[in-house]
Structures are given as C-alpha cells and as structure tokens.
Amino acid sequence: MKISTRARYGLRLLVDLAEHSGKDPVKLKDISRRQNISLNYLRQLIMPLESNNIVRSIRGNRGGYLLGKKPEEINLLDIMNLLEGPMNLVDCVHNKNLCQISDTCPTRKIWVEISEKMEQSLSQRSLKDLMENNEILN
C-alpha cells in the first residue's frame, strides 16, 4: 500500500498552515513556495478541506486561509479519509460483499487487523502531533 501524494501533500499543507497562521490568513502561494508543492495542486487539495470545515478562507486583498479548528481537534484519520478515502488494504475489509470468499478467505483476517491498527493509530493523532514532530526535525 502506498499513500498518495494527495494525502501526503494535504497533511503538509495543513501543518504549514497551522504553523504560519496567527491572526492573519496564510496565502496558498506562500505554502506552495515553502513546501515546494504546485499552487494548482494546493488549490485542488484545499477545496475538500474547506468544504469540510477543516480550513476556512478569507477573501480579499489580505485574504488567505486559516484553520477551521484548533490543531489538536483535527484528527489525522479524518484528514486521510477525506483526502485518500477509506484506509483499506483490500476492498473486502469494510465490505465483505465485494468478495465471494470473504467468509472463508485465509488472508482477510490479517488485512482487517492491519487496517484496524492503521485506523486506530491515525485516529489517536492530531495535526498538533505532526506540528510537534516537525519542531523536532527543525
């Protein structure tokens, strides 16, 4: 399994936004420059984040984006599900009907277990945790 650039860049966008927003909104072009991510790609990523109240936009000359919630209230599993979709290693994890042998499959149990552990790990972490990890690296 590989996490897409959509989810990875979306999390980087949120960490950058959280670290650089105070009272003033943050411009996407500044995040683009700091994170070395295409401005057009950031525009695509920001739309679902805004429509789900993770970020909010401020219009006008001094406009930009702010977090819609406190960093500790932004759960990583929610962000991953929003940007990546459900965290399934295989399709039958959350829908047994997608496979004819899901009830007797010798491998399904391990895929369910690993998927549940990933979801649990992400659900126990917030954007604030990523910010703290970033401070350690800098």
Per the structure, the count of domains in the chain is 1
Q: Which residues contact 100 (CB under 8 A, 6 or more apart)?
A: none
Relative to beta strand 55-58, strand 64-67 is antiparallel
Helices 5-20 & 76-84, crossing angle to 10 degrees?
130
Residue 127 domain boundaries = 5-137
For the chain, what is the mean pLDDT? Answer: 89
Burial class, 127, CB count within 10 angstroms (exposed 0-12 / middle 13-18 / buried 19+) = buried
Average pLDDT over residues 62-75: 93
Of all residues in the chain, the percent with pLDDT exceeding 90 is 62
Q: How confident is the model at residue 137 (pLDDT cuts 50, 70, 90)?
A: low
**Kind and range of the H or E element at 10?**
helix 5-20
Q: Which residue has the higher pLDDT, 91 or 54?
A: 54
Q: How confident is the model at residue 43 (pLDDT cuts 50, 70, 90)?
A: very high
What pLDDT, in 10s, does the model give residues 9-23? 999 999 999 999 777
> What number of other Cβ atoms are within 10 A of residue 20's Cβ?
15
What pLDDT, in 10s, does the model give residues 88-116? 778 888 777 778 887 888 888 898 899 89
Give the domain CATH number at 82. Answer: 1.10.10.10
The whole-number pLDDT of residue 1 equals: 64
The whole-number pLDDT of residue 62 equals: 85
Calculate the CA 24 to chain-centre distance: 23
